[in-house]
Amino acid sequence: MDRLIYTAMTGAKHTLEQQATTSQNLSNSSTTGFRAQIDSFRAVPVYGDGLPTRSFVVDATAGSDFTPGPIQQTGNSLDVAVQGAGWISVQSDDGSEAYTRNGQLQVSINGILQTSTGIPVAGTGGPISVPPNVTLTIGSDGTVSSVDNSTTPVNVTTLGKIKLVNPPTQNLVRGEDGLFRTKDGTSPDVDATVTVAGGALEGSNVQLVDSMVNMINLSRQFDLHITMLKTAETMDNSAEQVMNLS
């Protein structure tokens, strides 16, 4: 009886948590470069005080789905999409290095190349400064160049190079700000095999149909757990009546 009650109780609780994760994935189905979160159930026996018949169900965060999303052409010279495996390095608020697949870039009022959310892009030699009144181009290797159309002949200047890295996915963890960081806190070296496509953005890798089906299945699982709790209550009442008769 204990195993039934505790398994159903914790199963219902963590089913709701997985439902929240699925909802978050669906809400980011149109977010540039978003990586879907993956959860899974696992059984955990109770240690310490309590009966050995008790067993909990917990929601284990298995990680993220690192499958590349679809690449969409935008024609914007400041948009880049990482092709295949790899990440764009950025400088987070606390000064540490973080990684994103969102290549929707812009230039701040201070002339710093940054993401669409205002996070500075990390260059191989530090932040990338952009002079005013120039046209930017970004090469497949992340090289950022400026073209001054006011001069004749046209003057092309290399401003820096975006730090493109490819750390092992098992060493990456998603932060609350949506950026990924290495679990051990190390900064991976530049990976020359990582390339970007200019004038394009990578879409979210969330599969809408699969997420909707998962949401329906989780709803059914929750109903099943509640039914199990009601069954346990009925069995307990019946057992109490039998004991009273004896």
Q: What is the pLDDT of residue 97?
A: 94
Is the pLDDT at 239 greater than 80, yes or no? no
- Strand partners for 242: none
Return the top range by mean pLDDT from 7-21, 37-51, 90-104.
90-104
With a CB cutoff of 8 Å and minimum separation 6, the contacts of 39 are: 17, 18, 21, 59, 60, 61, 62
**pLDDT of amino acid 51:** 59
Q: How confident is the model at residue 50 (pLDDT cuts 50, 70, 90)?
A: low
Whether 130 and 194 share a structural domain: yes
Check whether residue 194 and residue 78 sit in a common domain: yes
Instruction: Mark whether 32 and 15 lie in a shared domain.
Output: yes
Question: Among candidates 89, 118, 114, 113, which has minimal Cα distance to 101?
Answer: 89
Distant-in-sequence, close-in-space partners of 194: CB < 8 Å, separation ≥ 6: 82, 84, 85, 86, 87, 142, 164, 165, 166
Say if residue 128 is in the same domain as residue 220: no
Question: Is the domain of 154 the same as that of 86?
Answer: yes
The answer on 198 and 78 residing in a single domain is: yes
Q: Averaged over 183-189, what is the pLDDT? A: 91
Residue 57 has pLDDT above 70, yes or no: no
Residues 94 and 172 in one domain: yes
Q: Is pLDDT of 1 > 60? A: no
Domain that holds residue 35: 2-67+206-245
Strand partners, 137: 145
The arithmetic mean of pLDDT across residues 25-35, rounded, is 93
More confident residue, 48 or 111: 111
Residue type at 182 in one-letter notation? T
> What is the Cα–Cα distance from 193 to 195, expressed in whole angstroms?
6
Spell out the residues 6+ positions from residue 112 whose beta carbon is closer than 8 angstroms to its own: 120, 127, 128, 129, 130
Each residue of 124-151: pLDDT tens digit?
988 999 998 888 999 999 999 998 877 6
The whole-number average pLDDT for the span 33-55 is 70
At residue 201, does pLDDT exceed 90?
yes
Least confident of 57-61, 110-114, 166-170, 196-200: 57-61
What pLDDT, on the 0 to 100 scale, is given for residue 139?
Answer: 94
Segment 16-44 shows an average pLDDT of 85
Are 61 and 9 in a shared domain? yes
Q: Report how many domains make up the chain.
A: 2
Q: Is the pLDDT of residue 59 over 60?
A: yes
Looking at the fold, whether 91 and 43 belong to one and the same domain comes out as no
**pTM, 2 dp:** 0.79
Residues 109 and 222 in one domain: no
- Asked whether residue 187 falls in the same domain as residue 216, the answer is no
Render pLDDT for 73-118 as a digit per residue (tens, 0 to 9).
Answer: 999 999 999 999 999 999 988 888 999 999 999 999 999 999 999 9
Same domain, 105 and 198: yes
Q: If you average pLDDT over residues 191-210, what whole number do you get?
A: 94
